[in-house]
Chains A and B, each alone.
Chain A
Amino acid sequence: MQRPLSFVIFRALAILLALAITLVPILWMVSMAFKPFSEWQATGANLTWFPKKPTLDNFRFLFGNSGSDLIVALDRTAAKPILSSLLSATIGTLIAMTCGTASAYGLSRFGSGKNLPLALIQLRLFPPMAVMIPVMMMWAFLNLMDTWWGLSLIYGIVTLPFAFWLMKTFFDEMPKEIEEAALVEGCSRWRVFTRVTLPMMAAPLAAASLFVFILNWSDYLIALLLTTRDWVTIPVYMASLSSSMTGQLYGTKAALGLIAAVPPVILGIVIQKHLVRGLTFGALKQ
């Protein structure tokens, strides 16, 4: 539709303003991450918008190199928390995607597990905080506290609703003719599922997996309650990077925040066209 010039100008200004508001918090963190100690140590005063002498000191410091002008040294580096986040988010994604894909196919093709759609939505409805006490008790009882497998298991469960609903909508949309042809050829149902259906669904499976990975990677609350020291994840570790002795390690935390923020932002852009479907439990397709 043809628009008047005034609208075009208004639109450009409005979008530029929205972009500025979107970017300022992100750019501020990037700027803090590259400032040397001397530029952020002051109690929040005299901060500049851009680093005067950009440096990688904050990143080096995170990985145990205290050669910077910081007096303190970290009692543990960021390497283990990064490993913990990666490992638990990946295994959690595998658990959610395996169980979610299998059950979504079971429901979509054979009508099994009709209780699952609602049960899984309900699982998502409740604040995790409201079931954490019994979960903490169970995890302690099963010796899963502060382990990567315990964290992976809970991640697999809390993101199962997304994996299930996403894959269910993908299976529902898939034409059934090819599967039927394979059945007529004499393939068993299981063979059809593993050799015909799954390979055809490679792209949706990848998109759903990345989506679930982002969710797992973004967790803070669960790791805060179920890990204590050995397997704390990046956000929990980040929050612990301030003490009465060191004060707020602004630049260090900004550098770690940047490390945590980059993977989901990139993955999110990769699966952009599936985001609406994922976030609305498959209710909306783009």
Chain B
Amino acid sequence: MTHPVNSQKDGAGLGFRLTLPAQILVLFIAVFPLLMQLYISLTDWSPLTGATWPQAWQFWNSFANYADLLTDDRLWAALGRTLFIMAVCVPVEFALGLALATLFVDDFPGKRIAYSILIMPMMVVPAVAGYMFFMLFQSGGPVNDILSWFTAEPVAIAWLSAPNLALVAVIAADIWQWTPLMFLILLAGLVGVPDDQLKAAALLGASPLQRFITIVLPRMKVIIIIALAIRSIEAFKIFDTLFIMTGGGPGVATETISIYIYKITTQDLIWGYVAAVALAILIVLSVAAIWAMKRMAR
């Protein structure tokens, strides 16, 4: 039997024990990998050297890897491409998601079924979605078929083997898969806007656009920030769909940061350098995240 007097102390001990497994997992995945990453990023070590990674000090090159990455054109191009994909996908997904969400505020027949269908794409395994779009954009595939309805002659565009078109295809796949996420989050926000305020504003003669800007947007500010932040973070990581569709190609036309790191990890096997690149990305992202959180707090 526990004494009531002891229950608070009992609680603190139990709280510690309950959080222990998660703490161990976080330490396991955060601390060790980061230290290892830092260590080998200061060397020329790779699995091809024949040495095991603790012996990587034999290939010490101080900060040469970090100097190299400043002049690595392929890295900067991949970063630029990643940011470009983000800059196109996130706003388009936001606009489409918001537009769709406004259509779903009122009830209409078939709303539940339409809703369930519209959110399906984001549940599809991303690698499978990548394969779907790989098939769609084949020269004999349905995209060209639909285009040929409008041009009245057969269209045989080789989407995935033309650099710019491959990028378009990849962006289309991302928009298809993630607009539903924006739709879902923004609709949850829109439904929370009180109806009576909107009605009052309408009676006072505010146009739909005015009502949207003065009543709906301010109430949805936090939700919009969360939606944009989540999508931006995920878009920066983009890998699965893109890798299945184009493998980063043709050439390096659709090579993003994640694909670049994957390729130099598995093909070039220059692990010391990869570690430096990866660590630099982690540091930049952490600084950006801290800056963003401080701004959010204000």
Q: List 27 A-B contacts (CB under 8 A).
A: A14-B100, A15-B114, A21-B176, A22-B118, A24-B136, A43-B140, A99-B21, A100-B22, A106-B14, A106-B17, A110-B16, A112-B12, A113-B15, A123-B26, A123-B29, A125-B285, A129-B237, A129-B258, A131-B278, A137-B36, A183-B4, A188-B2, A220-B127, A225-B266, A239-B127, A264-B125, A272-B119
Q: Which of B234-288 contact A (CB under 8 A)?
A: 236-237, 239-240, 243-244, 257-258, 261-262, 265-266, 271, 274-275, 278-279, 281-282, 285-286
With A109-B11, A260-B128: A44-B139 Cβ-Cβ less than 8 Å: yes
B2 contacts A186, C-beta separation under 8 Å: yes
| Contacting residue for B118 out of A18, A275, A279, CB 8 A | A18
Interface size class for chain B? 35 or more
A250 interface hit (Cβ, 8 Å): yes
Given contacts A47-B140, A220-B126, contact A23 B117 (CB under 8 A): yes
Q: How large is the interface on A (under 10, 10 to 19, 20 to 34, 35 or more residues)?
A: 35 or more
Chain B, Cβ-Cβ closest to A268: B123
Q: Are B181 and A279 in contact (CB under 8 A)?
A: yes
Considering the complex of A and B, which 8 residue pairs feature the smallest CB-CB distances, nearest first?
A110-B15, A112-B15, A113-B19, A106-B18, A134-B33, A235-B127, A103-B22, A268-B123
Complex: chain B residue closest to A236, CB-CB: B127
**Least CB separation from B265: chain A residue:** A133
Residue of A nearest to B24 (CB): A99
A44 B138 Cβ-Cβ under 8 A: yes
> Is the Cβ of A284 less than 8 Å from the Cβ of B233?
no
Q: Which residues of B contact A98 (CB under 8 A)?
A: 21
Give the shortest distance, in Å, between A15 (CB) and chain B (any CB): 6
Q: Mark A245-275, 1 if CB is under 8 A from B, else 0.
A: 0000010011001001100110111001001
Asked if B53 CB lies within 8 Å of chain A CBs, one says yes
Inside 8 A of B230's CB, which chain A residues have their CB?
Answer: 279-280
Taking a contact as CB atoms under 8 Å apart, the answer to whether B285 and A126 are in contact is yes
Looking at the assembled complex, report how far the CB atom of A25 sits from the nearest CB atom of chain B, in whole angstroms: 4
Within 8 A of A (CB), among B26-67: 26, 28-30, 32-34, 36-37, 40, 53
Contacts of B279 in A (CB 8 A): 130
